[in-house]
Chain A
Amino acid sequence: MIPIDFQYVAAQSVAEAIRQYHQFSTSDMSTRYYSGGTEIITLARLHQLTMDAVIDIKPIPAAQVCSIVEEKLFLGAALTLSQITSHPMMSRAFPLLQVAVNEIADRTARNKITLGGNLCGDIIYREAVLPLLVCDSMVRIAGPNGAKEESIHRIFRRTMQLKPGEFIVQIATDKIYRCAPFFHVKRRKMGKVGYPIVSAAAIRLQDNIHIALSGVCSFPFRSRTMEDWLNQKHLPVHQRIEEAIQIIPPELILNDYEASREYRRFVLRTVLEETLHQLGSA
């Protein structure tokens, strides 16, 4: 049972969601946007999250789109991970994202977890952001001051940097990135469901590797300095990988019940090696 009470409203449009947020705020009610709701429910049950109201953004048509306009793929933030994996267009339109989200949670949970919820959640892995980071996606945001489009690199710095009242409506990704040769790998402690020890999403573009990682630190990231080392093709693979790993401050590498710091570093090494081989950069 959820031990707190909150009010639930479903917004039918972006404007209605913003209006509702404003209305709750002026009544001094703490408010959250609600998408799949799985994290809100589980954290609220454990007393780790409270709010006075939630605004469900699933009914908003703009948050449900999946379409290509002028080579840009637009994905609504309220699409469930299952909708993304099962959409007939996705295996051609953005296969890296399709493969990456298919590894998040399990088949039934993916019917509820949404793209926007995964990107904005408190749970540290946020694995759906990895393909967006390597593909330089754009994030379409709505808020009290209107709509805006921001680069994923500006708006996602360890976590999503949204201002009060703002929410993600869509993600836009260019063809040049989403159709590039790609590689995705997720290494767990055991089994085929669960959080990653290391997960990586990578593409090869103009002979350079772009790579983003989750599970290594307490936040997902893409590091240009790491990529620079990995792309130094005149150096032996072993050296490129060691130099790339050295970039991560050792104390930032997670050391927890899933895996020790040393084991994570070992797994990261094998993941980077596999990525370079798979993308023909070894």
Chain B
Amino acid sequence: MTKHEVTLHINGEDRTLVIRHADTLLDVLRLQCGLTGAKPGCENGDCGACTVIVNQLPYKSCIMLAIEATGHTIMTIEGLKHSPIQRAFAKCYAFQCGYCTPGFIMNAHAMLLHDTSIDEPTIQEWLESNICRCTSYEEIASAIRMAMSTMNANLPDNSKPNSPST
């Protein structure tokens, strides 16, 4: 089994790791970095439990090789602190067992990084990437709406979505 040294930029830190080229990002995060927030669910690209953010876009880390992520900025749920979406998930009780929660939060956070004035069909489209076995879908959608309004309320007046200059 050939192993290679690579450096991954994870949650603001450079991590030098010895990996197989065939290692998925999910396995490297969990087994080598001790970052167990990204969860293995289907490991087939279907459930979204393993979602992380790479260069501001959500990716399912079970269908990405760790080596592909070299030179890119990786953020896992452990790197997300006190964000509006985390607070909104807690306030809206947007989870039951919590297994899917990191994946949903990373996906929702990436969506809000792109835009804070997202319409309902777009929210539904993004949420379809993740599965919640406990069916907390309504509460998760409410949490996204809450996070969105918190973020918009904190914007300077002239950059709010409905301000005359936008």
A56 to B48, CA, bound (A): 24
CB pair B43 A45 closer than 8 Å? yes
Contacts A106-B128, A106-B129, A111-B59; is A5 near B45 (CB within 8 Å)?
A: no
Q: Which of A36-44, A246-254, A273-281 contacts B (4 or more CB under 8 A)?
A: A36-44
Given A5-B2, A193-B128, CB of A109 within 8 Å of CB of B63:
yes
Q: List 27 A-B contacts (CB under 8 A).
A: A1-B23, A1-B27, A2-B24, A4-B22, A5-B2, A5-B22, A7-B21, A8-B21, A8-B68, A36-B63, A37-B63, A38-B63, A41-B64, A42-B44, A42-B63, A44-B22, A45-B43, A107-B58, A107-B125, A107-B129, A108-B51, A108-B58, A108-B130, A109-B45, A111-B59, A112-B59, A193-B128
Q: Mark B126-158, 1 if CB is under 8 A from A, else 0.
A: 101110000000000000000000000000000
> Which residues of the other chain, A, contact B24 by a CB distance below 8 angstroms?
1-2, 41
Residues from chain B with a CB closer than 8 A to the CB of A42 are 44-45, 63
Interface assignment of A15: CB less than 8 Å from any CB of chain B: no
Whether a CB of chain B sits under 8 angstroms from the CB of A105 is yes
**Residues in B neighbouring A37, C-beta threshold 8 A:** 63-65, 68
Per the bound structure, the CA–CA distance linking A106 and B131 in Å amounts to: 11
Q: Indicate whether B57 reaches chain A with its CB closer than 8 angstroms.
A: yes
B63 touches A107 (CB 8 A): no
Are B57 and A8 interface neighbours, CB within 8 A? no
**How near does chain B come to A44, taking the closest CB pair, in angstroms?**
7
Q: In the complex, what's the smallest C-beta–C-beta distance from A214 to chain B, in angstroms?
A: 19
How many angstroms between the C-alpha atoms of A18 and B81 in the bound complex? 45
B125 touching A5, Cβ below 8 Å: no
Task: Pick from B22, B68, B129: contact of A109, CB below 8 A.
Answer: B129
Q: CB-CB < 8 A to B43: which residues of A? A: 45
Expressed in whole angstroms, the Cα–Cα distance for A37 and B45 within the complex equals 11
**B97 contacts which chain A residues (CB < 8 A)?**
none
A 127-167 to B, binary, CB cutoff 8 A, 1 in contact else 0: 00000000000000000000000000000000000000000
Number of B interface residues in the complex (CB < 8 A)? 30
Contact of A6 with B by CB under 8 A: yes
B residues 19-67 in Cβ contact with A at 8 Å = 20-24, 27, 43-45, 48, 51, 57-60, 62-65, 67
Tell me, yes or no, whether A238 is within 8 Å of chain B by CB. Answer: no
Known A5-B1, A37-B65: A108·B23 in contact at CB below 8 Å: no
At the interface, yes or no: A192 with Cβ under 8 Å from chain B? yes
List B residues 98-134 near A (Cβ within 8 Å).
107, 124-126, 128-130
The 5 closest A-B pairs by CB, nearest first: A108-B129, A8-B21, A106-B129, A38-B63, A2-B22
Out of B1, B45, B65, B68, which one reaches A105, CB within 8 Å?
B45
CA distance A235 to B129 in the complex (A): 44
Taking A41-B65, A108-B48, A109-B45 as contacts, is the C-beta distance between A2 and B2 under 8 angstroms? no
Check A107 against B128 for contact (C-beta < 8 Å).
yes
Q: Which residues of B contact A4 (CB under 8 A)?
A: 22
User: Could you say which of A7, A38, A56 contacts B45, with CB atoms under 8 Å apart?
Assistant: A38
Residues 178-219 (chain A) with a chain B CB within 8 angstroms? 191-193
